[in-house]
Amino acid sequence: MIEYSHIESLLTTADIGRTVHGFDVIDSTNTYAKQLDRTKAPHGTVIIAEEQTAGRGRLQRNWMAAKGENLLFSVLLYPSFATEKIALLPFAGSLAVADAIEEVTGLSPTCKWPNDVLIDHRKVCGMLLESVSAGGSIERIVLGIGVNVNQTEFPEELRFKASSLRTESGREVDRPALLAAILNALELRYEQLSSFAPDRLLNDWRMKALLFGKKILVLESEISYAATAIDVAEDGSLIIAMEDGTKRHLFAGDVSLAYK
Ligand code: BT5
């Protein structure tokens, strides 16, 4: 089990990670965070587990992670900024994870639209952003983050697309130190998003982006087609050029490099 008192001493944040609900086993930290009574969960509350029995990805997909070797957590946020900026939270999240991985391991991660962190083209972190509405407006946002830390064996279906920090660095990684670094970086990125025009955050994200100028395969509602990734827009969409040169904004879907 991760020692939370140890994390607290490493935090430089005002809110994020200052309240922690820790579990040995849970169905999904995101599901729990969505239902948690607000009086027990101030802005920045972290729900973390050693194992998830129903860890979720986007679009009803599964997140698979071995017990006790990874980071599986959700951060509860009550955003005070304009609704349009909420679509940019995955950019803040993936940059924060990339910043922290770099700081703790010296590795050089890249960010892949919409919300993955990769090392050498393999996914080491995925994110699931969910919102809960009340009275017609967004009451809370749950940012679920799964990082492959010390797991070195993956199920067959993930063998070629997933990796971990231990596999990539050749060293065991201190999970509490990495968690604290992610939470510290997340608060900084959250403040950057909240206080400045979106381009500040997006420009930093662009520096770590993997796909721009490259041929990609887009998978959108079970239809797959080739395109070129151009940029990201302030609404969080990916700007792509179709093969006939027309431009499109992609708001949801999966993209992968056509050639590695
Ligand atoms: C994601 O979805 O990448 C979001 C993952 C979010 C997981 C966290 S863990 C804490 C919190 N609680 C939850 O229940 N969820 C969040 P998506 O982009 O849809 O990617 C899912 C796909 O990634 C799966 O269909 C697999 O192909 C692949 N995958 C599953 N487990 C993986 C892993 N450990 N590493 C890399 N890829 C994985």
What is the 244 CA–ligand 1 centroid distance (Å)? 33
Mean pLDDT by 10 residues, the chain (260 residues): 81 97 97 95 97 96 97 96 92 98 98 96 97 92 98 96 98 97 98 96 96 94 93 97 96 86
Question: Ligand 1 within 6 A of 64 CB?
Answer: yes
Which CATH number describes the domain made up of 4-208?
Answer: 3.30.930.10
**pLDDT value of position 62:** 97
**pLDDT value of position 260:** 66
Kindly report the number of other CB atoms within 10 A of residue 18's CB atom: 16
Burial, 245: exposed, middle or buried (Cβ in 10 Å; 0-12, 13-18, 19+)? exposed
Helix locations, the chain, DSSP H: 4-10, 29-35, 83-86, 89-105, 165-169, 175-195, 198-208
Q: Which helix (H) or strand (E) holds 125?
A: strand 122-134
Question: Ligand 1 within 6 A of 52 CB?
Answer: yes
What is the 146 CA–ligand 1 centroid distance (Å)? 7
Instruction: Indicate the domain borders of the chain.
Output: 4-208, 215-259
**C-alpha to C-alpha distance for 209 and 131, rounded to whole angstroms:** 25
Give the position, in ligand 1's atom list, of the atom nearest the Cα of 29: 12
Question: Ligand 1 within 6 A of 151 CB?
Answer: no
What is the 72 CA–ligand 1 centroid distance (Å)? 10
**C-alpha to C-alpha distance for 182 and 93, rounded to whole angstroms:** 9
**C-alpha to C-alpha distance for 32 and 238, rounded to whole angstroms:** 30
pTM above 0.85, yes or no: yes
CA terminus-to-terminus distance, the chain: 38
Q: Which helix (H) or strand (E) holds 73?
A: strand 71-77
What is the 124 CA–ligand 1 centroid distance (Å)? 10
Fold of the 215-259 domain: SH3 type barrels. (2.30.30)
* Integer angstrom CA distances of residue 30 from 107, 123, 208, 249: 28, 20, 27, 28
Kindly report the number of other CB atoms within 10 A of residue 127's CB atom: 21
**pLDDT value of position 222:** 85
Give the position, in ligand 1's atom list, of the atom nearest the Cα of 151: 34
**pLDDT value of position 6:** 79
